[in-house]
Every structure is written in structure tokens, then in C-alpha cells.
Amino acid sequence: MATVKLTTENVASFVDELDTFLFDCDGVIWKDTEIVPGVPEALDSLRKRGKRVLFVSNNSTRTRSEYVAKMAKMGITANPDEVFGTAYATAHYMSKVAKGKVYVMSGLPLQRELEQRGLTCIGPGPDPVDDEGTMALPTHLAQLPLDPEVKTVCVGFDPHLNLIKLTKAINYLRDPECLFVGTNTDRSLPNPYDRLIAGTGCLVEFVANTANREPTYVGKPFTPIFDCIREECAEAGKPIDPSRTLMIGDNPLTDILFGNRHGMKSLLVFTGHGKEEDLAEFQADGDERRPHYTADSAALLAHV
């Protein structure tokens, strides 16, 4: 099916065929600290029509409650059980598979979500090198103490990444029984300054390449975050029907691929990463990154 451009003329009938709307956050609902104009009204319109609205983000630097607080400051009402960030989804996944202690290369939000699931974590926060750099010399790195109870390594966005942390992670992963989990594959971080900023995907690949191990990824476009959404919706008595679900995102490599891989409809908006002129790259038959629909902004959904 060729990609269809949504307009004020066809959007109402389009929405009638759907029950659940999954919104990416950065680049769709907000850009940096600014709300995308018209999106709060779109969310309100969908809810008034009895549609379910959920928020699905690959950002691992916020807990569910922190997402809700950010949205409240922007005038968006959301409940914690409507938010599926990768910190929360990773905790959901790891509560089923993790063994022993978890060495966490990430910020505190991921640790908090993991600990709420009963997992014991070590590693978040600074593990500093001394001013002279002697702690990062090979002789010192080779003697770093390792906790024998660590049986899982989890990597998210870690602003404190350094050689000490990397050395610990890759040595835990020398044990083939040690699990290796990455929150997401995004290689760059969105920002309003037209700069490239290394994202979580770069950090996970850094560890993976050095340890010669393949991680299990949780976030979009992979299945663990979809399973988290599906299972929790079913537990709440409101199962998701993928054929009547829309994934709305700004990134063909994560959001659109996620929706298409899991049997959903997909809508690419042009308020963030994706640009209309880039669509030609994804138009080959069978390309899972090709969106079913496009729109200039998710604000279009207010016209229903």
C-alpha cells in the first residue's frame, strides 16, 4: 500500500477505524522543552471520542512518574499506567529474565524502575577517574574489583560513562551466562541546535563491540516493549488489537518500524527527526520502515 497523506478531509474517517493511539514523545508531542502546537488539543479530541491514548518513548532517563510530571508542566494530562518509557519497559522485561545482581550503566531513573521490580542494582552514577588519570591506566583497570553476584549487565543512557565502567561491564560479560540488555538503539539524541549528540545506541554498541556480545534490546522497534504494553493492557482488562492501533512517531527507524513489525498502522509526522523529503528512501516494496500514513503534525488529530 502506498503511503497516504492525512489531511483535515480524511482524518476523521481514519480515526474511526482505530481504538488505540501510541504516541512517541520527543519530536511528536514536544521538542526539547517546547510543546508541539496543537498536540494537547489532539489528545483531548481523541479521548473525548473514547480512544485510548498511550505514550511510548525510547528515552531511558525518566521514570513513569517523571514523564507524567513533565507532561503536566506542558498542560498534558497522563496517568502513569499510560506511559511506557524504556526505563519502565526494561524493568518489566528484566523482572522476568534477570539473574543475580544487575550492573547498570545508566542514570538513576533506570535503577529506580529496576528496584521497584525487586532487582538489586549496582553501578549507576559516577565511577570517577582521578585527576591524573592513573585509575584509567591498564594496570589499574586490570585490577578493578568485580562483584561475583552480578549476573546481568543493563546499558541505558549513561552520562557518566568512562573506561572504569566499560571495563567492569565487559568483564562481567565475559561470563557467557551473564545476560546483556540494552534499553534502545537510538544513535543520536534529539536537540534543537542541529548538533549530533551520541545516544544510547552508541553506548550499547560500544559495550557490545568490546565484549563481543549481542544484547537484547527492549525499546522500539523491538518486541519487549510491545510485550510490556500488550501484557499490561490485557491485565487492565483492555487488550490491544494491533490492527486497530496506530503508532505515531517521527523516526522511521524506530517508531515506524516498531508499528509495522507488530501489526499496527503507522503514522510518520514531520515535527521531529523525519522529513517529508526523506520518504523516498523507504518506498521500496517490503521496506518495514515505510509508514502507512504521514502528517505534518500529530496536531492534525484534533480535527476529528
Catalytic positions, please?
A: 24, 26
State the cell numbers at 164.
Answer: 572504569
Q: What gap in Å lies between CA 254 and CA 36, rounded to an integer?
A: 20
Q: What gap in Å lies between CA 31 and CA 219, rounded to an integer?
A: 20
Residue pair 88/112 in contact (Cβ under 8 Å)? The answer is: no
DSSP H helices, the chain, are 11-16, 39-48, 64-73, 86-97, 108-116, 138-141, 163-172, 200-211, 223-235, 257-261
State yes or no: cis peptide before 145, omega within 30 of 0: no
Q: How far apart are the first and last CA of the chain?
A: 24
Residue pair 254/226 in contact (Cβ under 8 Å)? The answer is: no
Separate counts of helices (H) and strands (E) for the chain: 10, 14
State the cell numbers at 200.
Answer: 544510547
